[in-house]
Amino acid sequence: MRELAELLQTGQVSSTELVIACLEQIKQTDGVINAFLTVDEQGALEQAAQSDARRARGEALSPWDGIPVAIKDNISTRGLRTTCASRILRNYHPVYDATVVERLKQAGLPILGKTNLDEFAMGSSTEYSAFGVTKNPHDPARVAGGSSGGSAAAVAAGQVPWALGTDTGGSIRQPSSFCGVVGLKPTYGRVSRYGVVALAPSLDQVGPLAKTVEEAAALFSLIAGEDPRDATSAGAPAFQVPRWNAAVVQGLRVGVPEEFFSSGLNAEVEAAVRRSLRTLEEQGAVLKPISLATNDYAIDTYLTLVTAEASSCLARFDGVRYGERVAAPDANTMFAKTRGAGFGAEVKRRIMLGTYVLSASHYEAYYEQAQRVRTLIKLEIARAFEQVDVIITPTTPSTAFRIGEKRNPLEMYLSDLYTATANLSGICALSLPCGYDSQGLPIGLQIMGDHYQEELVFQVGRVVEASVERGPKVEV
Amino acid sequence: MIGREEVIRMATLARLELSEEEIELYTRDLNSFLVSGKKLQQVDVSGITGTSHAVSVIHALRRDEVGESLPREAVLAEGPEVLDGYFKVPRIVEGQE
Amino acid sequence: MKYDVVIGLEIHVALLTESKFLCSCSTAFGAPPNTQCCPVCLGLPGSLPVVNEKAVEYAVKAGLALNCQVHTFSRFDRKNYFYPDLPKAYQITQDTYPLCTDGFLEYYIDDELRCTAITRLHLEEEAGKLIHSGSSIVDSEYSLVDYNRAGIPLIEIVTAPDITSPRQARLFLEQLRLVMRYIGVSDVKMEEGSLRCDANISLKPQGSPVLGTKVEIKNLNSFRALERALEYEVKRQSAVLERGGKIKQESRTWDERAGRTLSMRSKGDAPDYRYFPEPDLPPLQLDPAWVNCLKDTLPELPLARLRRLEESYGLSRYEATFLVNYPDFGDLFLELAKAGEDNTALVNLLMGDYARLAREQGHLAPGRIAELLRIVAEGLITHNQSKAVLEELFRSPLSPREIVRDKGWEVLRDAEQLRAMVQEALAANPDIVSRYRAGEERLWGYLVGQVMRAAAGKADPKVVNELLKEELARG
């Protein structure tokens, strides 16, 4: 991206040329990949032309003015269809921009289009998209991961330099890991959620996906910081791309939680992650075995909270103000038919679960219990960060699985085994490629940092990245 | 065990019209989810307060200033059925909870 | 059998903020439908609420005025239910940790001071407005939704079941409205819906410690409706109990035209609102110093003012109540009384013709009222003439003295001029004079009236009386 920025700066390439190249790549590859739900060819070209004009006048809005970006389709874009990969919103055109989109536009980034996801971000493979699965550019028989599978695949397939995703339990990191790209789940509250269609507001965060750590950091710098329209972002600091300094790992205390290297973990994934850990150690980091025993409850806690919050957040899709409506003689029947027809199976499943755990007679045993276990998880993470500076784990227990392989929803939920803890505790976590398995599939490594420690996480990520050999180039 | 009736009650609360197959499916799913819930119930949380917010934030209020509203065309633009500047809904029948 | 009546009220008060509770749309009443809406109050996907600090301030003020404990930690919760007027299909409210609890309100029933406990007071958002195609929701084929009202800040106030009669319920609510008006947090208009009230009522055998089954009554759109609906329920429920029947726990709606309550739904199918903490809003944490500061800025409240008017100004309960119920009159009274005007003359003036004129045309500047009182006290005009001057003050920009001079309304005191009038009056009524002399003393007034008429009402009554006495004595 630094190269792209420099090329734009020196006039060796124009934004229009970049957008055309992206559109060309999408045309060539997206028939297979299905990363995009909407490509805004005309809009992107217009924004690119404006960017070129600004550059010509020497009035670039940012160093990245003119570099196109893709947006996950659960983030509102004014006038540009935002479906959340759901039938119920298949023709929904928001009347406003999410804060993150507004900020990218203010930095001069043309919006190339909207990327595929599991319906309302509920899933780990984009198989739950109402508009078809996104395929992994490394192997089209495999999933790209999810829910931000479209964004991860688009970046991996070279359709766009970078993209925004959302992460509620691993939805940026897991697809990043599966597609061999870099993805950050920021500290809760550091990026505005205004305009981001909620899955579980106490867990959701928007974050960047890019090819390199530096690019991810650059995109993050454009979206981070307090937003008066999101009360949960109050006091959140902005972010600037740091001066890169490999010496940061000298004396760095790296926590290695044993629970994340246990029986369910694929051996090749473990080997790759341990190799990176050794590299860090060789460069002066201190590896500290730690225990995060509460991770055993993370998925169950996550599932309870996410379904509860989602059942409430998705109630507004009632066919009155926007979205599809199925006609009926009375309002309640209209609501039920609209929602019954508009939502897919997984969304309905989670609404049912969420309604159950919040209902008066089960609230205490399920929802409240999960909230209290969440406190235990938070406390354990806080204690861990008293002893270590970062925690390193695999991002996922395995590499990308085959399309259709996971039929049982509970099995699918286990994809978030290593990632949900960061959401539950509100800390930041970065996933980046650390090698490839014997089938040539990317392996992801996760670096977790304490609240607002994104800079440290990026610094460490950059060191890991430098030590990892570039894998096979993606062929599509 | 969660029975069929409980599943129907949940679907009514959530305003989801479900087919017979879906009712069966979600009855199974809810019951397998119970295992997950039961596992959590084993955890000792005595003396622990629940976390409802990931990060604690103190002052997050806005000043009482009127900002711009949307033009009415924009408000109604996505409405499935509108009439005379209003959103239109079919007959409201009370007491269906 | 005799029954004890047990009533509790649930009151909603719309707060007078400029912008809505959770977004910056205007709260102005009466705009064309769906013109005061934004992504937040329409519940568009992705929009987020941010709390208006003024709404918090007003709610705290209301809590303090109702002698509540104001909690420096409170939390917002979602109340989930589907209804076309509820944009997000949940209402942001406060369930587990309300802003205020444990208050009370004192008020008079006739001469007896009563106290009703306030269980809780919390903040929440208003829903939109429904317009039904038919005459009511039941016979409408469709309804129309206007979201201008959606998201206006409300406080919900819940009383303990302390109220023992329909009339008491009404007096309580009137006092509550007055308190809200005094502290300026709401315009509390029942007809515009900025004050709304639901009532819970149950009956139990007199003296029994066991509460009866309670019935909730909704759609009480006026103070009169509240009292009438409760009276109706007392009769209905006692009739059921007399027959040996059981009261059904249910919600009933008040039908104003028919003058009765109708069953809406039984509590058996009470909705399950699935409350849980609102993740989009951090808990509300107040600085105790700020709360204390608000306490210090509270104005004098109605009951305190009533007592002060009685005790320090010697007013009757009737007069003091008038001034308390019409705070603008109360303020005027206190300002003028402070300036040294005679309390009795002042309150008589304010409660008399002045009240009617001021309600139609707005208040006069206090200085002009003071001058009017002064020229009556000085004897420049009679009390009778003061009414004409008052009328004129509402029409003319002139001062009272200027009006009197212009109109030539000064009191006639010249003894010679008046004596001539007295003599003329006696001469014109020989009959009356002789009857008076014969002992019909009540005719004195008639004779005075004749002289006054001749003097066009301007004669000083004291002088007229003296002269009349003299002339009659002269025989």
Residue A241 lies in a domain: no
Q: Which residues of A are catalytic?
A: 72, 147, 171
d(CA A472, CA A467): 16
Whether B13 and chain A come into contact, CB under 8 Å, resolves to yes
The predicted pLDDT at position A14 comes to: 97
- CA–CA dist C80, C92 (Å, integer): 9
Tens of pLDDT, residues C32-62: 999 999 999 999 999 999 999 999 999 999 9
A196: left (phi over 0), alpha (psi -120 to 50) or beta: beta
SS3 C246: coil
Measured between alpha carbons, how far is residue A36 from residues A31, A109, A215, C433 in Å? 10, 18, 21, 113
Q: Determine whether the interchain pair A320/B80 forms a contact, defined as Cβ–Cβ distance below 8 Å.
A: yes
Which residues of chain C have a CB within 8 Å of the CB of A321?
42-44, 87, 147
Q: What is the pLDDT of residues A53-64, one digit of tens each?
A: 999 999 999 999
Q: What pLDDT sits at residue B33?
A: 87
Rounded to 10 degrees, what is the CA torsion of C268, C273, C274, C277?
-150
Q: What is the pLDDT of residues C329-379, one digit of tens each?
A: 999 999 988 888 888 889 988 998 899 999 889 999 998 998 888 888 888
> C121: which 2 tokens?
């007071």
- Given an 8 Å threshold on Cβ–Cβ distance, is A315 in contact with C88? yes
Q: Which residue from A201, A421, A188 is spatially nearest to A301, judged by alpha carbons?
A: A421
Compute the residue count for chain B: 97
Of C44, C143, C147, the CB nearest to A322: C44
Residue A312 lies in a domain: no
Q: Would you call A387 exposed, middle or buried from its count of C-beta atoms within 10 A (0-12, 13-18, 19+)?
A: exposed
CB contacts of B84 in chain C (<8 Å) are 33, 144
Mutate to test the interface with A, among C276, C281, C285 (most CBs of A within 10 A): C276
Q: Flag whether B37 is in a domain.
A: yes
Band (A2; pLDDT cuts 50, 70, 90): low
Domain total of chain B: 1
Domain contains B81: no
- A161 domain residue, yes or no: yes
Within an 8 Å CB–CB cutoff, is residue A90 touching chain B? no
Q: How far apart, in whole angstroms, are the C-alpha atoms of residue A176 and residue A158?
A: 14
Low-confidence ranges of chain B (pLDDT < 50): 96-97
CA distances from C429 to A455, C458, C470 (A): 111, 21, 17
Tell whether the model's pLDDT for residue A359 goes beyond 90: yes
Chain A partners within 8 Å of C51 (Cβ): 231
DSSP A264: T
Pick from A220, A7, B84, A461: which is nearest to C32 by CA? B84
Cβ separation of B37 and A366 shorter than 8 Å?
Answer: yes
Residues in A closer than 8 angstroms to C47, CB to CB, are 96, 194-195
Facing A315 at nearest CB: one of C44, C90, C145: C90
Residues with Cβ within 8 Å of residue C277, at least 6 apart in sequence: B52, B53, C75, C76, C77, C78, C96
Assigned domain for B1 exists: yes
| SS3 annotation, A325-362 | CCCCCEHHHHHHHHHHHHCCHHHHHHHHHHHHHHCCCC
Please indicate, yes or no, whether residues A171 and A260 belong to a single structural domain of this protein. no
Regarding whether A273 and A217 lie in a shared domain, the answer is no
| pLDDT of amino acid C450 | 87
- One-letter-per-residue 3-state SS of C331-368: HHHHHHHHCCCCHHHHHHHHHCHHHHHHHHHCCCCHHH
**Taking the model in full, what pTM does it have?**
0.92
Q: Which domain holds residue B28?
A: 1-43
The position carrying tokens 């013109």 is C35
Please check whether residues A286 and A185 belong to one and the same domain: no
pLDDT at C379: 80
- Measured in angstroms, the CA of A156 and the nearest CA of chain C are apart by 27
Same domain as A138, residue A161: yes
In a shared domain, residues A192 and A269 = no
Q: Are residues A66 and A151 both part of a single domain?
A: yes
pLDDT average, residue stretch C238-256: 91
Residue with tokens 């790992």: A249
C280 to chain B: nearest residue by CA? Answer: B53
Tokens, residue C465? 């009386």
Distance from the A43 Cα atom to the nearest Cα atom in chain B, whole angstroms: 20
At residue A475 the predicted structure's pLDDT band, cuts being 50, 70 and 90, is: very low
Q: Could you tell me the CA-to-CA distances from B95 to C250, C251, C310 in Å, in that order?
A: 11, 10, 51
Domain that holds residue A444: 248-292+387-466
CATH, residue B4? 1.10.20.60
CATH number at residue A79: 3.90.1300.10
A69 and A177, same domain (yes or no): yes
CA distance B10 to chain A (A): 6
> CB contact, 8 Å: B91 with chain C?
yes
- Using a CB-CB cut-off of 8 Å, the residues of chain B touching A298 are none
Q: Residues 50 to 89 of C: which have CB under 8 A from any B CB?
A: 50-56, 75, 81-84
Specify whether the CB–CB gap between A54 and A61 falls below 8 A.
Answer: yes
Of the pLDDT bands very low, low, confident and very high (cuts 50, 70, 90), residue A184 is very high
| CA-based nearest residue to A257, from A289, A212, A285 | A289
Q: What is the mean pLDDT of residues C113-124?
A: 97
Burial of C229 (0-12, 13-18, 19+ CB in 10 A): buried
At B84, list the tokens: 């005379």
CA distance A198 to chain C (A): 6
Element (H, E) at B59: none
Q: What is the pLDDT of residues A459-474, one digit of tens each?
A: 999 999 999 876 555 5
* Residue labelled with tokens 């709260």: C27
One domain for residues A110 and A224:
yes
Closest CB to B95 among C140, C269, C274: C269
Nearest CB to B60; choose among A234, A328, A365: A234
Tell me the backbone φ, ψ of residue A202, rounded to 5 degrees: -85, -5
Same domain for A179 and A257, yes or no, is: no
Contact B29 A234 (CB under 8 A): no
Residue carrying structure tokens 């003689």? A329
**How many domains in chain A?**
2
Report pLDDT digits (tens) over A292-349: 999 999 999 999 999 999 999 999 999 999 999 999 999 999 999 999 999 999 999 9
Shared domain for A157 and A275, answered yes or no, is no
Reported as a pLDDT band with limits 50, 70 and 90, residue C3 is very high
First CA to last CA distance, chain B: 23
Residue A424 has pLDDT above 90, yes or no: yes
- At A286 the pLDDT is 98
- At A37, list the tokens: 């739900």
Chain C residues in contact with B63 (beta carbon < 8 A): 52-54
Contact in structure between C57 and C18 (CB atoms under 8 Å):
no
Determine, yes or no, domain membership for A288: yes
Q: Which amino acid is at A191?
A: V
CB-based contact A355 C274, cutoff 8 Å: yes
Q: What are phi and psi of C37, to 5 degrees?
A: -135, 150
User: Could you read off the pLDDT of C61-94 as tens digits, one per residue?
Assistant: 999 999 999 999 999 999 999 999 999 999 999 9
Q: Which residues of A touch B48 (CB under 8 A)?
A: 372, 375-376
Across the interface, of A98, A312, A335, the residue whose CB is closest to C46 is A98
Would you call C44 an interface residue with chain A, using a CB distance cutoff of 8 Å?
yes
Q: Is the peptide bond before C165 cis (omega within 30 degrees of 0)?
A: no
Give the list of residues 6+ apart from residue C101 with CB closer than 8 angstroms, or none.
C68, C69, C71, C119, C120, C121
B39 CB within 8 Å of a chain C CB: no
Can you list the alpha helix ranges (DSSP code H) found in C157-287?
Answer: 166-183, 223-242
**CB–CB contact B15 C50 (8 Å):** no
Structure tokens at A432: 């980046």
Counts for chain A of helices (H) and strands (E), in that order: 15, 13
Q: Of A358, A361, A319, A360, which Cα lies nearest the Cα of A341?
A: A319
> What distance in Å separates residue B8's CA from the closest CA in chain C?
14
The reported pLDDT for the residue numbered A367 is: 96
Residues A28 and A149 in one domain: yes
pLDDT at A393 over 90: yes
CA distance B40 to B50: 13
Q: Do B87 and C145 touch (CB under 8 A)?
A: yes
Interface probe, candidates A185, A318, A332, A346, chain B, greatest B C-beta count within 10 A: A332
**Which residue did the predictor score with more confidence, C261 or C463?**
C261
Q: Which residue type, as a one-letter code, is found at position A306? A: V
Query: How many pairs of residues across A and B have Cβ atoms under 8 Å apart?
Result: 181
Mutate to test the interface with A, among C19, C24, C82, C138 (most CBs of A within 10 A): C82
CA–CA separation, C79 vs C265, rounded Å? 19
Q: Which CATH class is domain C415-474?
A: mainly alpha
- pLDDT at res. C266: 62
Q: Look at residue C122 and tell me whether its pLDDT is greater than 70.
A: yes
Query: What are the chain C neighbours of A101 within 8 Å (beta carbons)?
Result: none
Higher-scoring residue by pLDDT: A222, C245? A222
Position A170 in a domain: yes
CB atoms C282 and B56 under 8 Å? yes
Exposure string of A171-207, with b = 16+ CB inside 10 Å and e = fewer, is bbbbbbbbbbbbbbbbbbbbbbbbbbbbbbbbbbbbb
Around Cβ C135, how many Cβ atoms within 10 Å?
8
**How is chain C split into domains, by residue range?**
3-290, 300-407, 415-474
Q: What is the pLDDT of residues A276-296, one digit of tens each?
A: 999 999 999 999 999 999 999
**Residues in C touching B64 (Cβ below 8 Å):** 17-19, 52-55
Place of tokens 């490509």: A39
- The 3-state DSSP class for residue B87 equals strand
Please tell me the distance from the alpha carbon of residue A200 to that of residue C12, in angstroms, as a whole number: 30
d(CA A216, CA C272): 44
**Whether residue A195 is found in the same domain as residue A254:** no
